[in-house]
Amino acid sequence: MSFSDLPPEIVLQMASTLDSVGDICSLMSVNKGLYRLLKTYLYQYSVDHENSAGLIRAAGKGSLSAICCFLSLPRVNVHVRNDAGQTILHLAAQQRDGFYIMMILLRYNGMDVNATDSMGRTPLSYAASNDDCRPLSILLRRDDIDVNMTDARGRTPFSYAVDRGHKEAVQKLLDDTRLDPNRTSDDLSPLAIAAGSGSMEVLEMLLSDQRVALNNQIHGSIDPLIWALFLKHERGSLRLLCAPNLNVNCCWHTISALMWGILLRQTAVAVRILEKDQLDVNHQDNAGRTALMLAIQMENDEVSMTLLDRKDIDLTLEDERGESAVDYALKSGNSKMLGEIRTRL
């Protein structure tokens, strides 16, 4: 009699004497018949002796059949985690075909949809970054889902979707009334992320939502206009300047958006800012410098002349060293600019 011809009861008895998953797998590898016979035993062994580690391995591989087999076993731990602290829901949310796995998992009572991994990310956070939006849709149907939960970096699922320029995910989250679309992460609001990311479609989606705050209200956060200037996303900056009630006098480290535009050589944006009547053209930074002083220093004649044409420009202001726009023009060696300033004094 060959080994494979042994009665199932004897084979199972032999398997029960083995002390490791590796030994059981070796026994299963003899032939397909033994594999089918011992598969359930192997999974139960993992449940009883490895705290259901086999389930997390199956989820990591996206093996739907193995997951279903594990979930049918008594004492299975559906909250098991991998070394990154991720649950089977986390893994399903990241997979291209995780939709089917997630549908099965969410049938189980007690499944923690807001569980966080070692980075503080939830399954929803990963689903918002997944090209397949079906896992995101399933999770958003849950009444107990926290759509605004932040990770260790302060990022929400919405900020991940916006950062990726994932239009479908952004729209699904915006359609959820529980969403706070203004939660900041790394001192950036989702609108600021969109303004600097280059995705004009996502930026338009946010600007068309009445809940989205155009101007940051949180102390220390970077205004969308300034962030778009930092990343030199000219189209994003110009689009923001078309929005009503934009605070064109916003600052970062006492430097105004106009001054950042000059320093970062974003001339088209700086000129557009100068078209705004509510602009404070005489704003001084913590060194006492004005936009005109910076424009002269940066040899930006276009912005300098546009500033000089403003009726509200104050040419008598001095920086902390006691230097005025005239002194900046003298140091630049720009005789034409010096003459323009003197004719206006």
| Total number of domains constituting the chain | 3
Separation of alpha carbons 27 and 223, rounded Å:
63
The predicted pLDDT at position 286 comes to 96
Low-confidence ranges of the chain (pLDDT < 70): 1-39, 41, 217-219
CATH code, domain carrying 224: 1.25.40
The range of the structural domain enclosing residue 209 comes to 181-247
The predicted pLDDT at position 36 comes to 55
- Among 134, 151, 180, the domain boundary falls at 180
**What letters, b where the CB count within 10 A reaches 16 and e where it falls short, cover 7-43?**
eeeebeeebeebeeeeebeebbeeeeebeebbeebbb
Torsion region of 186: left, alpha or beta (phi above 0 gives left; psi -120 to 50 gives alpha) = left
CATH code, domain carrying 318: 1.25.40.20
Q: Are 194 and 206 in contact (CB under 8 A)?
A: yes
**Residue 272, in any domain of the structure:** yes
- Among 127, 160, 180, the domain boundary falls at 180
**Residue 131, in any domain of the structure:** yes
Alpha-carbon torsion 7, 13, 17, 19, what sign? Answer: positive
Neighbours of 233 (CB within 10 A): 23
Each residue's pLDDT tens digit, 203-261: 999 999 999 999 876 667 899 999 999 999 999 999 999 999 999 999 999 999 999 99
On whether both 146 and 161 belong to a single domain, the answer is: yes
Each residue's pLDDT tens digit, 49-78: 888 888 899 888 888 888 888 888 899 898
